[in-house]
Each structure stands twice: as C-alpha cells, then as structure tokens.
Amino acid sequence: MPGKIFLAVVFIALLVFLSGCIQPPGPIACTLDAKICPDGSAVGRDASNNCEFFPCQETPEFCTKELKICPGGTGVGRNPDNNCEFDPCPQPSEKEARVFTQPVQCSGNPWDNYVADLSEEQAIKLYYSNEYEIEILDFLGIPPAPNTVVCEACSCPRGDTVMVFIKEKDVQEMVSLGWRQT
C-alpha cells in the first residue's frame, strides 16, 4: 500500500506541476515598438503572428520627371507601372494639326487674364473655344531648355513653348492669331 500512496502523491505532484506550465488561451500583448519601413512609414507588431512586425507596404517606384516628345508633337512621361519606361506615343489623327507659340512675359498673352484661377491649359482651351470656336484637342507645355537666357521685357518670350492640337480646319485661323504651324 505504501507504493500506491507514493504513486498517487507523485501523480498529484506531476499534475500540479504541469497545470502551472499550461497557459490558458487569451490575448497576447506585444511590445509597443515600431519598425521604420523604407518609405518612412512605421509598422507595429502583430499579436496574432507571435508579435512579429506587420509587413511594410510596397513602396511605389518613382520615376524621373522626363518628357519624351513624340513624332506627333505630344509628350509622354515615364510610367512607374512599367519599370519607368516611357509610355507609348499616341498616334495622331490625320485630321488633326498642331500649332505652337512662345508665350510672352507680363500676362501679355490673350488668354492670361481671360478667367482667373485657371491653369494655362484650361485658360487657352476656354479662350479659343469661347472667342473663336476653336477646339483645343490636346495641350503640351514644353519647358525652356536648360540654361536658356530670356529677356525680362514684357514683349519678350518667357522661354517656354506651348503646343496645341487642333482640327485641321482651324489651322489658318490660329496662324492668323499669331500661332505657328509645325
């Protein structure tokens, strides 16, 4: 009988010991530190994944701000969804033409004060549509070449070029208004 008592005591001791090692299921608390991701954002720890850090968001690829001038005169930029390759050039319609001008300083262009708070593209489109019934199909602002020197007189060009696409039937009128055909 002393052997049975000894066995019962060992069994109870083992049961008490093991019950102390078993943790009841419940919420896990993680430390409140953060991991800084390559894009500068921060992520915390994931309690449902052994307190590992949440994954960083994929950082979007940034492309250089370059403009490729296409044969039709329009410009295309680099596409971050295509390894920063240039977007394909649009195919101009046979019934479209392009004209350009070199805007002058000091708000000396007819569209400059046409409607306040518009971009130059919006102002040009609105001005020629309302005043001459000419539809501007596309707009391209071409910045001056690096190190371009321009005079500061109000009658001098700003150094940039504005190119617009219009219907072929409107070319002569735009030329009579000071635009040049390419």
What tens-digit pLDDT sequence spans the chain (182 residues)?
Answer: 566 676 656 667 666 566 655 555 556 788 888 888 876 778 888 888 889 998 987 755 677 778 888 776 677 888 887 888 888 887 765 588 899 999 999 999 999 988 888 899 999 999 999 999 999 998 989 888 888 888 889 989 999 999 999 999 999 999 999 999 98
Residue 35, pLDDT score:
87
C-alpha to C-alpha distance for 85 and 82, rounded to whole angstroms? 6
Q: Is the separation of the CB atoms in 130 and 111 below 8 Å?
A: no
Measured between alpha carbons, how far is 156 from 136 in angstroms, rounded to an integer?
Answer: 25
Please report how many Cα atoms fall inside a 13 Å half-sphere around the Cα of residue 77, on the Cβ side: 11
The pLDDT of residue 130 is 95
- Secondary structure class of 52 (helix, strand, coil): strand
* Cβ(123)–Cβ(113) below 8 Å: no
19-53 burial: b if 16+ Cβ within 10 Å, else e: eeeeeeeeeeeeeeeeeebeeeeeeebeeeeeeeb
